[in-house]
Structure 1
Amino acid sequence: MNNDKWLKGVFKDVQKGLEHELHRASSGVEHAPTKGDIHEDSWIEVLRNYLPNRYGINKGIVIDSKGNKSDQIDIVIFDPQYTPMLLIQQGHKYIPAEAVYAVFECKPTFNKEYLEYAGEKSRSVRSLIRTSVSIATASGTIPPKTPHNIICGILAAKCDWAEGVKSESFNKNLPTTTNCLLDIGCSLEGGAFVSENKGIEKHQSDTNLMYFLFTLLAKLQSLGTVAAIDWKAYANILRES
């Protein structure tokens, strides 16, 4: 068998497995919050399997050094080595904004309401303050790094538009304002999309999942490492007024 055909067949099987898992979650669980948790957990498992171990992947709330916080985020991809989770309280995981590479909203389908909702979740993260300090190394001091653009996206099993991500309705309802912009997303049935310098690239096939994963890897790779966090800024929260 031709090697690329074999590899494509493997990718198709991976996508079918996730489709089956999400379908089972949608049809076998009636309680809405529980169903949502299963969707999120299924996507988190896929990302943990395919992204390098340098990335932490979890549900959480993103916070900054001024005490601001985001909405609850379905999936946060963050740096666990230099900027770990600050605390876990009553089941909620709090992650410093400086640590975040990407965030995703998980929904059952792509439609106008969910695209707008994911855009607002993106805004709640991108509006947070991120610090950056210089780093002392054996070769000298590295100046503060400008914080990168946080990748924001949406993940789903289905799509309400028959033409999927290539439909005009999808184009019209995809958030485009700076803080609400969705950079990347995947509907297992409707296709995947990614924002590039030349515009939105779209992909529709029986390997939408793998296309999404490879383009996500490319985007994460382009970010390098997160900026060094200013821990003193967080310590200032504890000062008595």
Structure 2
Amino acid sequence: MNQAKAASKIDGKKFLREAFAAEQAVLALQLDLSSRSITHSGVMGDVNEQHFIDVLRKYLPMRYEVSQGIVIDSNGSTSEQIDIVIFDNQYTPTLLDQKSHRFIPAEAVYCVLEVKPTLSKPYLDYAAAKAHSVRILERTSVAIPHAGGVYSPKELFPIIAGIVSTKVDWTDGLIGRPFTENLAALGDTHTLNCGLAVSDRAFDTFTGDLTISEPQGSLAFFIFRLIQRLQALGTVPAVDWNKYASFLGNDF
């Protein structure tokens, strides 16, 4: 019997805690390595984005795609470039893909995340502005025929937005007033619903109140609670592709 199997038999919960702590430690080492060894800030940012994307792809169900991209609506309006977009991979195609560049229809988006080296007021505001650029886009929703009739157009759910980083700038981390007050100051389309600092804690407001994890296990806390929230959103709305086709100048 190997060491991991023995640990899981003795105390399964402890085994899971330690296994996910190791996963978090690996991510922290990857982020630290990029900061110490990559001399170009833009390249370092791209590498760190990919580290977070890889972790999310590992744990999110296959129905969700995780990628960077620009969100677009049926009017041709676009968001800012988004570091991480979690979107529907089953019913909604991306548009005009060119290598790593893609437009993601607004209707397909579940969540947007900004990747930053540290969690601070300027970066909170920056992530909030990115979220705003997505949430103000128009989303369509049409009825769906089925064997027994027609499902009504799905009500649009609020798009999740957050920030992930390596560390926190504030001395008290995420449990101090500077963080909580700056987070609370972000309202409406600028709201950030969740976040993670790999060297500190994770947070979310999925249950209405601000919930903050312990430092150990913050990665698992972030991932599992995000999955739970994604499940609660259900499926994305059915896209009105005739609205997208209207730019051709025809009446549909």
TM-score (norm 1): 0.97
1:181 maps onto 2:176 in alignment: no
Deviation at 1:91, TM superposition (A): 4.2
Deviation at 1:98, TM superposition (A): 0.2
> For 2:199, what is the secondary structure of its paired residue?
coil
Deviation at 1:204, TM superposition (A): 2.2
Match of residue 38 from structure 2: 29
Superposed, 1:170-209 pairs within 5 Å as 170-174=179-183, 175-209=185-219
Query: Which of residues 222, 227, 233 is equivalent to 2:232?
Result: 222
Match of residue 167 from structure 1: 176
1:72 maps onto 2:81 in alignment: yes
Deviation at 1:162, TM superposition (A): 2.3
Structure 2: segments with no counterpart, 5+ residues: 1-9
1:239 maps onto 2:234 in alignment: no
Higher radius of gyration, 1 or 2: 2
1:213 maps onto 2:235 in alignment: no
Deviation at 1:240, TM superposition (A): 6.8
8 Å CA contact retained: 2:206, 2:229 = no
8 Å CA contact retained: 1:163, 1:190 = no
Match of residue 113 from structure 1: 122
Match of residue 159 from structure 2: 150
Q: Which aligned segments of 4 or more residues in structure 1 are displaced greater than 3 angstroms?
A: none
Give the superposed CA RMSD.
1.3
The number of equivalent residue pairs is 241
Structure 1: segments with no counterpart, 5+ residues: none
User: Relative to 1, partners in 2 of residues 1:91 and 1:214: Cα closer, same or farther, differing over 3 Å?
Assistant: closer
Superposed, 1:87-106 pairs within 5 Å as 87-89=96-98, 91-106=100-115
Deviates more, 1:137-146 or 1:60-69: 137-146
Deviation at 1:92, TM superposition (A): 1.8
TM-score (norm 2): 0.93
Query: Which of residues 118, 126, 129 is equivalent to 2:138?
Result: 129
For residues 58-93 of structure 1, the C-alpha deviation after alignment (integer angstroms, 9 at most, x for no partner) is 000000000100000000000011111012147421
> For 1:170, what is the secondary structure of its paired residue?
helix
